[in-house]
Chain A
Amino acid sequence: MMERVLLGELEQLILLAVLRLETEAYAVSVREQIVDQSGVQVSRGTVYVTLDRLEKKGHLESWFADPTPERGGKAKRYYRVTPLAVRALQTSRTALDRMWQGIEPAGGKL
């Protein structure tokens, strides 16, 4: 059987945030998206480390925009998810869904 490595919880949160933000996904907006939508407080360092790790794993691609004066001449680093990430997200969700089967509705056995 092929070994499947599921995404971590934080990895899923970040990939989903990048997906939701579409073309406006950079570290600040990703973190805000996670905090606003999930209520999970994550530190900036955690976001940067996870973005870096996901990029090395091939789940994210990044590029630098043009520098803007509002940011002191510093460019934004935008991210987008790769097809590999989409498949990984689906795999993780499927695995979790299967695990939840029989427990629902409303977490009756919890």
Chain B
Amino acid sequence: MRQRAWWPSIARWILALGVPGRGADAIVGDLREEADQHRLTRFWLLREALKIAGRMLFARSVGIRATINRETRRTGDSTMSGILQDVRFALRGFRNSPELAAVAILTLALGIGANTAVSSIVDGVLLKALPYPDPDRMVRIYSSWEQSDRGNVSPMDFLDWQDQASSFSAVAAIISEDYAHIGTGELKVVFAAEVTPGFFEVVAVDTALGRPFVGDDGGPGADPVVVLSDGFWQRSFGSDPDVIGRSLRLETGSATIVGVMPPGFVLHGWSDTGPDFWINMVLDRADNNRGGHFLGVIGRLREDVQLTSARSEMDTIGRDLAELYPRKLALDGDPPLLMASVRERIWRTTRCFRSATSTPWRTASGRRSPFPVSSPRCRRCSPSLPWCSLQSAYTGSCPKVSRSVTARSASGWRSARSPPPSSGW
């Protein structure tokens, strides 16, 4: 049997862990000879190399233990309590078997490295504070219903919360969207976040150029305006300081550039690099859409409001909304679950309800332009799955524990997986 050159090399490397010097080469030669003689595969060769290396390592470790035992008897210290003595024996054992020492050190290095990597991920994803001012004042607000206690929010619920909740200095709704950007004649798909004007108040980060969205940008009939990310500003506009007031050409229309965010500001948890731009989301009460849950909602607690107070307030609002819209009880037959809860959690999941909901809502909203590209989809979703799970770091978090406010809204017990009605409630 003719072995490929790299198999013996791997076998040699494996055996070198347990066999010093030219001995490993000799064993590889032996294995190769037997493999050729008995027409055995290279996998057999590698397996045997592993077994032999393991036996050799084990035998050496036994030899080290025997040496330690002899030394222990010699010194009369049966407890081996002296640290210096332990260290001396360890060093002696390693000196006698440097290969074993190398394997031990390699194992330790791999273990420490793996632990460091996991710790870094846990710290960055779960424990590290959000990169916004006063992150412990930021909360994620959910709708809940029997199928999900942390679901996205319908436009009408959001507007009601925005009007009635006094615990927050600002609340904002967010959805992510792909747009077709017409730059220099070339069509490119870009990643945008549609946000209501309160978004920049919630994150408490000001624009580097121009202005953030203001209240009028979210009202019915508002013209589309965008705030560019620093990266997109550099890539598409060459960091032109006079970009404010220019138009961003999208496939379905144009939007006026009103601001540019500072470098490094991203929509944390939504994407690794953040959206290319933020575009104003227009919500109109005339749409009366309380059945389509597709908005992610974040809020910033007022300085003088505790989380428990905010929970109580959202509880009350949810109860009031349920009384105002009793029709849902008749439709679904579920009791009105009005409980609002504040829960501590270390892993945040938000769901995006994409293709089935966003387009009808936008159509019904009467928004002039721009419209999303024809097949709106979440960047992290399979296009075939209307629902997906996204890790979201929008949940407000103190440096150690994230918090969220869950409000069981009036529309909460309608299944969010069902398409929203074409007309509102």
Residues of A at under 8 Å CB distance from B? Answer: 26-28, 43-46, 48-49, 52-53, 64, 67-68, 70-77
Chain B residues lying within 8 Å of A70, measured Cβ to Cβ, are 33, 36
| Per-residue A-contact encoding for B37-79, CB less than 8 Å = 1, 0 else | 0000000000010011011100100000000000000000000
In the complex, chain A residues whose CB is within 8 Å of the CB of B28: 72, 74
Other A-B contacts than A27-B26, A48-B55, A74-B28, 15 sampled, CB-CB below 8 A, are: A26-B26, A28-B30, A44-B51, A45-B51, A45-B55, A52-B56, A52-B59, A64-B26, A70-B36, A72-B3, A72-B8, A72-B28, A73-B29, A74-B26, A74-B30
Interfacial chain A residues near B34, Cβ < 8 Å: 28
CB neighbours of A44 from chain B (8 A): 30-31, 48, 51-52
Q: Which of B32, B54, B56, B59 contacts A71 (CB 8 A)?
A: B32
Given contacts A28-B34, A44-B48, A72-B3, contact A49 B29 (CB under 8 A): no
What A residues does B25 contact at CB under 8 A? 74-75
Q: How large is the interface on B (under 10, 10 to 19, 20 to 34, 35 or more residues)?
A: 20 to 34
CB-defined contacts of B59 to chain A, threshold 8 Å: 49, 52-53
**Interface presence of B27 (CB below 8 A):** yes
Instruction: Output the nearest chain B residue to A74 by Cβ-Cβ distance.
Output: B29
Chain A residue numbers with a CB within 8 Å of B55 are: 43, 45-46, 48-49
Q: How far is the CA of A49 from the CA of B23 in the complex (A)?
A: 11
A-B contact pairs, 6 of them (CB 8 A): A45-B51, A52-B59, A74-B8, A74-B25, A74-B29, A74-B30
Q: Which listed residue, B3, B36, B52, touches A48 by the CB 8 Å rule?
A: B52
- B235 an interface residue at 8 Å Cβ cutoff? no
Complex Cα gap A45–B31 (Å): 11
CA of A33 to CA of B48 in the docked complex: distance in angstroms? 19
Bound-complex Cα distance A78 to B29 (A): 12
B61 to chain A, nearest CB (A): 12
Q: Out of B3, B26, B54, which one reaches A77, CB within 8 Å? A: B26
Q: Cα distance A44–B34 when bound, in Å? A: 11
Q: Report the bound CA distance from A52 to B25 in whole Å.
A: 15
Residues of A within 8 A of B8 (CB): 72, 74
Determine the distance from Cα of A73 to Cα of B33 in the docked complex, in whole angstroms: 11
- Name the A residues within 8 Å of B19 (CB-CB): 48
Q: Are B52 and A45 in contact (CB under 8 A)?
A: yes
Most buried by B among A27, A72, A77: A72
What is the chain A residue whose CB lies nearest that of B36? A70
A57 to chain B, nearest CB (A): 11
Shortest Cβ distance from residue B285 to the other chain A in the assembled complex, whole angstroms: 79
A48 touches B32 (CB 8 A): no
A75 to B25, CA, bound (A): 7
Neighbour of B27 across the interface among A27, A43, A68, A73, CB < 8 A: A27
Query: Is A77's CB under 8 angstroms from B23's CB?
Result: yes
With A28-B34, A70-B36 in contact, is A45–B56 under 8 Å at CB? Answer: yes
Contact present for A72 and B48 (CB under 8 Å): no
Contact of B30 among A27, A46, A49 (CB under 8 A): A27
Measured between beta carbons, the chain B residues less than 8 angstroms from A76 are: 26, 29-30
